[in-house]
């Protein structure tokens, strides 16, 4: 990514795309939504989940995040299942397989491997306290009490959606041009964290609550997480998100 690129208007996003690695896939997003809505995985309200899934894709596109083809394919699958469930059924079709069955099977299988992967990661973190890796030792030492969990990309998107919704949209006739670069927002975040052990996620957006600036700030947060300069954690799922610096 070109960190020197300045974001001045929404139209310029397309000429300066943000290329971030997709570190979580569509099944992760579905599991996140199921957990957040406290839904029975065997009885997924497909209309609700499809709408929320599409809402998250819209947020990712508005941030100019690269949405992988697998996310689009899953969206098409959800829409197809939704359409199938809306069609009237005959008596013979009532006994046919639930259109959601294949999706549920895939989610359960993925959830099993994800949980096993989590156990392996937990084991690695426990052993790293005896043999710490130098690049992470300063951050991991803060988690020794075991009362914090790392947040997912979708947790961050959810938190950003809440902050975004509380800021009124700028009027279309506004002529003042806001100029902000990714490097400026990265510097702002690191400076804000310099003399603090941790800050709330929302605090990083309060200095200039303009939507364009907020978008670049969120992208800066993702970049800093990717480069391991900050770490974001929660006390429990869907709770307040805290941001730690690396020093």
Q: pLDDT band for position 149 (50/70/90)?
A: confident
Q: What is the pLDDT of residue 92?
A: 59
Asked whether residue 53 carries a pLDDT value surpassing 60, the answer given is yes
Q: What is the pLDDT of residue 157?
A: 86
Q: What is the pLDDT of residue 236?
A: 77
Q: Does residue 1 sit within a domain? A: no
The span from the CA of 98 to the CA of 43, in Å, is 10
Q: Does residue 161 sit within a domain? A: yes
Range of the domain at 74: 6-245
Q: What is the pLDDT of residues 74-116, one digit of tens each?
A: 999 999 999 988 887 665 555 567 889 999 999 999 888 888 7
Asked whether residue 62 carries a pLDDT value surpassing 80, the answer given is no
Arithmetic mean of pLDDT, 54-63? 83
Strand locations in 94-223, DSSP E?
Answer: 149-150, 180-181, 198-200
Q: What is the pLDDT of residue 211?
A: 83
Q: Which of the two residues, 151 and 144, has the higher pLDDT score?
A: 151
Helix, strand, coil % in the chain, rounded to nearest 5: 55, 10, 35
Q: Give the count of alpha carbons within 13 A of 60, CB side only.
A: 23
Handedness of CA 43, 45, 51, 52 (dihedral sign): negative
Q: Does residue 91 sit within a domain? A: yes
Percentage of the chain beyond pLDDT 70 is 68
Q: Does residue 135 sit within a domain? A: yes
Asked whether residue 187 carries a pLDDT value surpassing 90, the answer given is yes
The span from the CA of 170 to the CA of 95, in Å, is 53
Q: In this structure, are residues 75 and 53 in contact, taking their beta carbons and an 8 Å threshold?
A: yes
Percentage of the chain beyond pLDDT 90 is 29
Q: Does residue 42 sit within a domain? A: yes
Q: What is the pLDDT of residue 107?
A: 93
User: Max Cα separation, the chain?
Assistant: 68
Q: Does residue 126 sit within a domain? A: yes
Q: In this structure, are residues 71 and 57 in contact, taking their beta carbons and an 8 Å threshold?
A: yes
Alpha helices in 38-96 (DSSP H): 46-62, 69-86
The angle subtended at Cα 143 by Cα 139 and Cα 147, nearest 5°, is 150
Q: What is the pLDDT of residue 175?
A: 46
- Separate counts of helices (H) and strands (E) for the chain: 8, 6
Asked whether residue 125 carries a pLDDT value surpassing 50, the answer given is yes
Q: Does residue 120 sit within a domain? A: yes
Per the structure, how many domains does the chain have? 1
Integer-rounded Cα radius of gyration of the chain:
21
Find the Cα–Cα–Cα–Cα dihedral 109, 115, 121, 122, rounded to 10°. -170
Other CB atoms within a 10 A radius of the CB of residue 164 amount to 19
Arithmetic mean of pLDDT, 200-205? 93
Mean pLDDT rounded to a whole number for the chain: 76
């Amino acid at each position: 990514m070109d960190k020197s690129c300045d974001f001045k208007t929404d139209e310029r996003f397309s000429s300066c795309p943000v290329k971030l690695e997709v570190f979580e896939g569509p099944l992760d997003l579905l599991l996140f939504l199921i957990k957040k809505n406290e839904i029975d995985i065997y009885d997924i309200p497909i209309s609700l989940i499809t709408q929320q899934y599409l809402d998250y894709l819209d947020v990712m596109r508005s941030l100019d995040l690269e949405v992988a083809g697998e996310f689009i394919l899953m969206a098409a699958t959800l829409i197809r299942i939704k359409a199938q469930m809306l069609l009237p059924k005959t008596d013979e079709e009532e006994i046919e397989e639930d259109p959601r069955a294949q999706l549920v099977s895939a989610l359960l299988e993925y959830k099993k491997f994800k949980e096993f992967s989590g156990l392996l990661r937990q084991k690695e973190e426990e052993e790293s306290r005896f043999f710490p890796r130098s690049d992470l030792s300063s951050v991991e030492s803060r988690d020794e009490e075991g009362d914090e969990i790392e947040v997912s990309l979708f947790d961050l998107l959810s938190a950003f959606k809440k902050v975004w919704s509380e800021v009124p949209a700028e009027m279309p006739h506004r002529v003042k041009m806001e100029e902000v670069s990714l490097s400026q927002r990265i510097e702002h975040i690191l400076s804000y964290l310099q003399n603090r052990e941790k800050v709330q996620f929302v605090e990083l957006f309060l200095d200039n609550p303009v939507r364009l600036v907020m978008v670049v700030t969120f992208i800066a947060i993702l970049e800093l997480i990717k480069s391991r300069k900050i770490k974001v954690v929660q006390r429990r799922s869907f709770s307040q998100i805290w941001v730690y610096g690396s020093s």
